Amino acid sequence: MGDFCLILLKTPVTSLIGFTETLLDGAKDDPQTLTSFLEIMQKDAIRLDKLIREIIQLSKDGENSYEIQTIYTEPYFQQIVQNYQPIIEKKRLTIRLIGKNEPFTTKTDILYPIIKNLIENAVQYSKSDSEIIIRYQATDDLSFSVQDFGIGIDIEDQERIFERFYRVDKARSRHSGGTGLGLAIVKDYVQLLNGTITVDSHLGTGSTFTVTIPKM
C-alpha cells in the first residue's frame, strides 16, 4: 500500500510546491495570475485532504475506497482547461477541444490529475501565439491526446521521461517555470487505471501525449 499512497499524494504536494515557488518568483505581482494560482492551489489542497482521509480509511479496512463515477467528456475537459485561462490569455494561446460529449465511468480522483498535468505541461511549454489541440473520445475506452507546438523533447529524453526522478535538459526545465508535475507521476496514475500513455515529440515542433484508459 505504501507505493500506492506515495503515488496518490505526490501530485497535489508537488503542485502546491510548484505554484508556491512560481508565486514567490514574481507571479504574485499579476493579480489575475495570483487569483488563478490560488484557486488551483485551493483545489489541490482540498484534494490532498480527501486523499489523506481516504488513505486513513484504507489502512483501516484494507480496501480501495476511491469512488467510481460517470463523467461527461466535454464539460470535464473544459473545466480543467478553464483553470489555466489567465495563463492561456497571457500567452495568447488557442485551445481546440475536439470530441463528442460522451459518458465515461472511472475513478475520477485518479483520472483528473492525469488530464490536469498533461494540459498544464502543454500550456507551460507552448510558444506564445500558438495552439494546443486536445482530442478525446469515449465510445468504448477513453482515449485522449494533448498536442502542443512548443519546444518539444529530444528523442534521447523521450526514452526516459516517464522514469522517476529523471529530468529533461536544463533548458526545458527552466522553460517550465518550476511548476511541471512530472511525467513519471502521470504514468503511475495511468497504470493505476490499467491504461497506457505514449509520446510523439520533435525538438522545435512540439509534443503529443496520448492516453488510453479502459472503462470500468
Per-residue pLDDT of the chain (216 residues; tens, 9 = 90+): 456 566 667 667 777 888 888 888 887 888 888 888 888 888 888 878 777 775 665 555 444 557 899 999 999 999 999 989 988 998 999 999 999 999 999 999 889 989 998 998 899 889 999 999 999 999 889 999 999 999 888 888 887 888 765 556 544 544 444 333 468 778 888 998 999 999 999 988 999 999 999 998
Give the pLDDT of residue 179: 33
List the domain range (segments joined by +) for residue 67: 2-213
d(CA 157, CA 109): 29
d(CA 41, CA 35): 10
d(CA 100, CA 91): 27
Give the pLDDT of residue 164: 61
Cα–chain center distance at 124:
11
DSSP for 97-165, written as a single string: EES---EEEE-HHHHHHHHHHHHHHHHHHSPTT-EEEEEEE-SSSEEEEEEE-SS---HHHHTTTTSTT
Contact 103, 71 (CB under 8 A): yes
Is the full-model pTM beyond 0.75? no
Adjacency order of strands within the sheet including 142-148: 94-98, 131-137, 142-148, 206-213, 196-202
- Quick one: which of 140, 86, 87, 142 has its CA closest to 115? 142
Cell of 20: 508556491
Q: Report the number of distinct structural domains present in the chain.
A: 1
Give the pLDDT of residue 12: 76
- CATH number reported for the structural domain that contains residue 32 in this entry: 3.30.565.10
Q: What are phi and psi of 203, to 5 degrees?
A: -55, 130
Q: Give the other-Cβ count within 10 Å of 88's Cβ.
A: 19
3-class DSSP assignment, residue 18: helix
d(CA 96, CA 28): 28
Give the pLDDT of residue 61: 46
